[in-house]
Amino acid sequence: MTMLLGLLDLIPRWLLLGAIAALAVFAGKLGIDLAGERAAVIRANDHVAAMEMLMQKAATQAAEETAAMQTKVTEAQNDARKREITLRADADGARGELDGLRIEIDAARDQLATASRDAAAQRAVAVGAVLQDCSRRYSGLAEKADRHVNDIRTLTDSWPK
């Protein structure tokens, strides 16, 4: 240690004080730079936290929108099933009505037998055949049309708005 002090005595005092002052300035500058870097890290961490919060909010919103859309699709599908049941019941009812008409046509055919035989019988048979054919075709057409309307409504109801 005495040797070090001896060496320091060889250096002019003004040079030694200048070196100490330069080191102090350099240390101060490093301290200021370090404080600035710490502030930048804090700002960056704040920015990352804000971005993470925005991402979480966006993910939550996307999940809610997806759930709402899925609920809407499920509701539309359930409504379509209900309409399909109603349509099938209506078609079955139309077939029942057609069967009733067949019975009435048969009864009318029997009643016409007492009138002018040949003309009444031919007319009854012809009218009955035409009526049965028309009823069958109209019932089938109505059922197909109702199913198409049901499909369109299902697609419309489940489409995102």
Q: What is the pLDDT of residue 109?
A: 66
Residue-averaged pLDDT of the chain: 83
pLDDT at 18 over 80: yes
Closest-CA residue to 124 (of 100, 138, 99, 107): 107
Q: What is the pLDDT of residue 56?
A: 96
Residue 60: pLDDT band by 50, 70, 90 thresholds? very high
Answer yes or no: pTM beyond 0.75: no
| Mean pLDDT value across residues 36-55 | 92
Q: What is the pLDDT of residue 113?
A: 63
pLDDT at 61 over 90: yes
Q: Can you tell me whether residue 160 is helix, strand or coil? A: coil
Q: Can you tell me whether residue 54 is helix, strand or coil? A: helix
pLDDT at 44 over 70: yes
What lies within 8 Å, CB to CB, of 157 at 6+ separation is 72, 75, 76, 79, 80
| Mean pLDDT value across residues 95-101 | 83
Alpha-carbon span 64 to 102, nearest angstrom: 56
| Mean pLDDT value across residues 46-72 | 94
| Mean pLDDT value across residues 3-8 | 69
User: Comparing 1-10, 13-22, 98-107, 129-138, which segment has the lowest mean pLDDT?
Assistant: 1-10
Q: Can you tell me whether residue 128 is helix, strand or coil? A: helix
Q: What is the pLDDT of residue 62?
A: 95
pLDDT at 115 over 70: no
